[in-house]
Amino acid sequence: MTSPDLVPLRRALISVSDKTGLIELGQALAARGVHILSTGGSAQRLAEAGVPVTEVGDHTGFPEMMDGRVKTLHPRIHGGILARRDDEGHVAAMNTHDIPGIDLVVVNLYPFEATVAKGADFETCIENIDIGGPSLIRGAAKNHDFVAVVTDPSDYAPLLAELAAHDGQTTLDLRRRLAAKAYARTGAYDAAIGAWFANRLGQTWPESVTVSGTLRQTLRYGENPHQTAAFYVTGERRPGIATATQLQGKELSYNNLNDTDAAFELVAEFDRPAIAIIKHANPCGVAEGDDLPTAYARALACDPVSAFGGIIAANRTLDAVTAEAISRLFAEVVIAPDADEAARAVLASKKNLRVLLTGDLPNPAQPGTLIKTVAGGFLAQSRDDGRVLPANLKVVTKRGPTPKELADLLFAFRVGKHVKSNAIVYAKDLATVGIGAGQMSRVDSSRIAAIKSREAAEAAGLAEPGTKGSVVASDAFFPFADGLIAAAEAGVTAVIQPGGSMRDQEVIDAADERGLAMVFTGMRHFRH
């Protein structure tokens, strides 16, 4: 059958939880002579505004019952939605059973996701699972040849514009676009309910899972210009790029978003003022300090060459002094919980610099799920929320770390958690002084980090590299002693690593021979 392009809008069913724009929509439809059916609070709100409305119970001849659980589930409603107007049998059934056609369904669902987010009890969450709403939406979307369905108040204006442009009629193109959006909404709604149920039942990995997201931004391109990309948000209440307000600067790119997320997650690991500078999802400098300006200067000193064009993250409100220092470096993005007025004024002079303020920091210990697509499916794992504390450490060498070494070891290991494997992090005085990332061999990561440290020292006119007297962290065990020996040659005095290699004793012996202190964490931080 050929679908009609233009369909006159004569009767509409409106039943919404979110009342945004409801009165304006009702008034505009009534002004066009549209007969409005409605339920409960929506009908009351429309009637109070003087909009002519018929209660669904009056239309069906069947009262609303069971605390509103049963009201629209009736043949006179669903028949009016699902009937094909070009099918003689459907039209005959409508005439026989006195079922008027419904040309528009405006429904948004009970706020299940918001109810769960508020921490409501089990029964309250159950009562906020909509039944009639999804049935109406899916029925209208299925019969989009003749029925328009609106699930989002942001679509009221386009709908009314369409009616104005086509003398009270909707086009097939609009109805199809609205139908696609409607199915996406009910799919996401069911996914949220399924995930909540699985969580309540203690099912970490249920038999079936659906991942849903809402489009936040269509991006200019992906990692490379020939790739398309978009940014979707899931509704997870985690401070970061999804919650941030962009104060200024150009549109964020795919790579900007990826790197900014990495930077902010890293800097949130620290309790004292801290700065993380990220390039290509790896840190090129991280430091704590008594204040942000100190932390920034020390983070930048680790690798000022790589920091050019990087992402800068702070875990405190940005001040003018830090903003002034940042403004002297070409950076792509700055992200922080907040910025004072003086800092905002300083950064405003850098028109292309993207400045993001999140309002808060993510909790590194908060559980969550990470997803990566693979051919034919996806891999899911819990977020790496592991944190190593002094009590978790096992001293395996003849010499134990000094208090200063211990503080640096824990700092370095925490940074290493956010470095691509194989990861090696040299640190001194709670600042990185050399980072080796993403190498196929751990010894190469050790050597590269040392080389970077020497180059930074030479550029700064220092007599020796920062690795002299530093500590080193490895995200996984040293499979051979060579990586540790390379670190020792760079000047480290203490080592932190997970342990667990068949050659642990060989590595321990190498550390003892060089007078190094070494501790095992028992926890690995691979990051691929």
Burial of 512 (0-12, 13-18, 19+ CB in 10 A): middle
- Residue 88 confidence class, pLDDT cut points 50, 70, 90: confident
- Residue 65 confidence class, pLDDT cut points 50, 70, 90: low
- Reply yes or no on whether 280 is catalytic: yes
Sign of CA dihedral 383, 389, 393, 398: positive
State whether 352 and 412 are in the same domain: no
The pLDDT assigned to 66 comes to 65
The pLDDT assigned to 132 comes to 87
State whether 431 and 341 are in the same domain: no
Structural domain contains residue 234: no
Structural domain contains residue 405: yes
- Reply yes or no on whether 59 is catalytic: no
State whether 14 and 99 are in the same domain: yes
Q: Are 293 and 322 in contact (CB under 8 A)?
A: yes
Euclidean distance between CA atoms 162 and 150, whole angstroms:
13
Euclidean distance between CA atoms 35 and 389, whole angstroms:
67
- Residue 445 confidence class, pLDDT cut points 50, 70, 90: very high
DSSP 209-244: -----EEEEEES-SSSTTS-EEEEE-----SSTTT-
State which of 357, 378, 410 marks the end of a domain. Answer: 357
Q: Are 218 and 230 in contact (CB under 8 A)?
A: yes
- Residue 68 confidence class, pLDDT cut points 50, 70, 90: low
Q: State pLDDT tens for residues 249-287.
A: 999 999 999 999 999 999 999 999 999 999 999 999 999
State which of 201, 234, 259 marks the end of a domain. Answer: 201
Lowest mean pLDDT among 74-78, 328-332, 388-392: 74-78
Question: Which residues touch 473 (CB under 8 Å, ≥6 apart)?
Answer: 409, 412, 413, 415, 416, 423, 424, 425, 427, 495, 496, 497
pLDDT surpasses 60 at 2: no
Tell me how far CA of residue 106 lies from CA of 132, 156, 189, in angstroms: 12, 9, 16
Structural domain contains residue 368: no
- Residue 3 confidence class, pLDDT cut points 50, 70, 90: low
The pLDDT assigned to 59 comes to 85
Structure tokens at 375: 């051919």
- Overall average pLDDT of the 75-93 stretch: 88
For 245, the enclosing helix (H) or strand (E) is strand 245-248
- Residue 517 confidence class, pLDDT cut points 50, 70, 90: very high
State whether 49 and 168 are in the same domain: yes
Structure-derived torsion over alpha carbons of residues 152, 156, 157, 159, reported in degrees to the nearest 10? 110
**Is the model more confident about 71 or about 453?**
453
State whether 172 and 50 are in the same domain: yes
Euclidean distance between CA atoms 95 and 89, whole angstroms:
10
Euclidean distance between CA atoms 152 and 18, whole angstroms:
9
The pLDDT assigned to 27 comes to 95
State which of 148, 181, 201 marks the end of a domain. Answer: 201
Lowest mean pLDDT among 45-49, 111-115, 338-342, 520-524: 111-115
Q: State pLDDT tens for residues 136-165.
A: 999 999 999 999 999 999 999 999 999 999
> Residue holding tokens 């691509």?
420
Tell me how many domains the chain contains.
3
The pLDDT assigned to 212 comes to 87
Structural domain for 34, as ranges? 6-201
Domain containing residue 181: CATH number = 3.40.50.1380
- Residue 502 confidence class, pLDDT cut points 50, 70, 90: very high
State whether 316 and 424 are in the same domain: no
Q: State pLDDT tens for residues 167-197.
A: 999 999 999 999 999 999 999 999 999 999 9
- Overall average pLDDT of the 398-416 stretch: 97
Structural domain contains residue 184: yes
For 113, the enclosing helix (H) or strand (E) is helix 112-117
Q: Which of 181, 250, 280, 404 is catalytic?
A: 280
Q: State pLDDT tens for residues 378-392.
A: 999 999 999 999 999
- The letter for the amino acid at 322 is T
State whether 275 and 129 are in the same domain: no
State whether 28 and 95 are in the same domain: yes
- Residue 504 confidence class, pLDDT cut points 50, 70, 90: very high
Q: State pLDDT tens for residues 99-114.
A: 899 999 999 999 998 8
CA angle 486, 505, 488 (to 5 degrees): 20
Domain containing residue 463: CATH number = 3.40.140.20
Structural domain contains residue 366: no
**Is the model more confident about 82 or about 288?**
288
Structural domain contains residue 231: no
Euclidean distance between CA atoms 176 and 73, whole angstroms:
24
State whether 284 and 398 are in the same domain: no
Cβ neighbours around 104 below 10 Å, total: 27
Structural domain contains residue 239: no
- Overall average pLDDT of the 489-500 stretch: 96
Q: Report the chain's mean pLDDT, rounded to a whole number.
A: 93
Strand partners, 210: none
State whether 347 and 397 are in the same domain: no
Structural domain contains residue 528: no
Q: Which of 142, 166, 250, 404 is catalytic?
A: 142
State whether 303 and 403 are in the same domain: no
- Overall average pLDDT of the 459-472 stretch: 94
State whether 490 and 445 are in the same domain: yes
Euclidean distance between CA atoms 67 and 380, whole angstroms:
40
Look up the pTM and report it: 0.86
